[in-house]
Amino acid sequence: MDVQIAAYHSLRCLLRPFLLRGVAIATHGINHLPQHGAAILVCNHRSATDGLLMTLALPRYIAWMVADYMTAIPVTSQLLKCTGMVPVKTEGTPTPSSIKKALQRLRQGKLLGIFPEGEDYIFNNDFDAPLAQLQSGFAHLAYVAQVPVIPAVIVPKVEKLEPITIPPAVRQHLEQHYDCAHIQSFVRYRSADVRIGRAISLKSVARLAKQEQVGWLQMQTRQAMLNLQA
């Protein structure tokens, strides 16, 4: 087995009983998640714990694109590296290195996970905001790699907004990112649905120009996510 996948599943099995204590997750549409082959999983983003929740809820390895400032935190940076996560800038244009790594994961036949709403939900402390417009990065990657997009949403049933407590040793690393100093609270799920939609492929619009295909995929993915939330 791939070393990164093995490390991912080992950590997942080790942490799952502790991280899911007191949390009820119901997964719907798991049959829409391909068991093998490259694809991009696109999910909404409401809480700092979304990546963990999806990782624990879904059985397949996911190479998540994660905020690059997380690599500044000791231990966390090593865990991200050994499990094959892809650091990406949260401000400005992604670096060629991030794009190269993301495409590499797809060419290896892996599932790439992306939260294309970005992180404004955390920095603005606005957890009731509707689904934002999706950034186009995932659609460009899908176009270049010619892989399907799997829409997904986390729908909270019971949740609690809690003050966030960041240990000083960690905060000094996070505060290098200008917005992190303003994080005040985060959503802690007590019960949530994870809903997976049908794959969206570019094959039906293959004759269109690149930008038209990318725009179409953005629109179709967002609409599919809105439908899943309904």
Find out whether 156 and 198 touch, Cβ atoms under 8 Å.
Answer: no
Tally of domains within the chain: 1
C-alpha to C-alpha distance for 193 and 62, rounded to whole angstroms:
18
C-alpha to C-alpha distance for 52 and 3, rounded to whole angstroms:
20
CA distances from 222 to 27, 29, 40, 173 (A): 20, 17, 14, 33
Q: How confident is the model at residue 1, as a pLDDT?
A: 65
Q: Say which residue the tokens 């179409």 belong to.
A: 216
Find out whether 204 and 149 touch, Cβ atoms under 8 Å.
Answer: no
Q: Which two tokens stand for residue 79?
A: 């865990």
Profile the chain (230 residues) by mean pLDDT over runs of 10 residues. 91 86 92 96 90 94 90 83 90 85 97 89 67 94 98 92 68 57 73 97 97 98 96
Give the residue among 47, 221, 89 at the shortest CA–CA distance from 149.
221
Q: How confident is the model at residue 105, as a pLDDT?
A: 97
Q: How confident is the model at residue 226, as a pLDDT?
A: 97
Q: How confident is the model at residue 77, as a pLDDT?
A: 85
Q: Which two tokens stand for residue 48?
A: 């700092």
Q: Diameter of the chain by CA atoms?
A: 54
The separation between the first and the last C-alpha atoms of the chain, rounded to the nearest angstrom, is 39
Q: Which two tokens stand for residue 24?
A: 């009820």
Find out whether 101 and 94 touch, Cβ atoms under 8 Å.
Answer: no
Find out whether 196 and 217 touch, Cβ atoms under 8 Å.
Answer: no
Q: How confident is the model at residue 177, as a pLDDT?
A: 56
C-alpha to C-alpha distance for 15 and 53, rounded to whole angstroms:
11
Find out whether 174 and 73 touch, Cβ atoms under 8 Å.
Answer: yes
Q: How confident is the model at residue 60, as a pLDDT?
A: 97
Domain limits at 150?
3-229
Give the residue among 190, 173, 47, 166 at the shortest CA–CA distance from 115.
47
Ramachandran class of 93: left when φ > 0, alpha when ψ lies in -120 to 50, beta otherwise: beta
As a whole number of Å, the CA-based R_g of the chain is 17
25 strand-pairing partners: 192
* CATH code, domain carrying 70: 3.40.1130.10
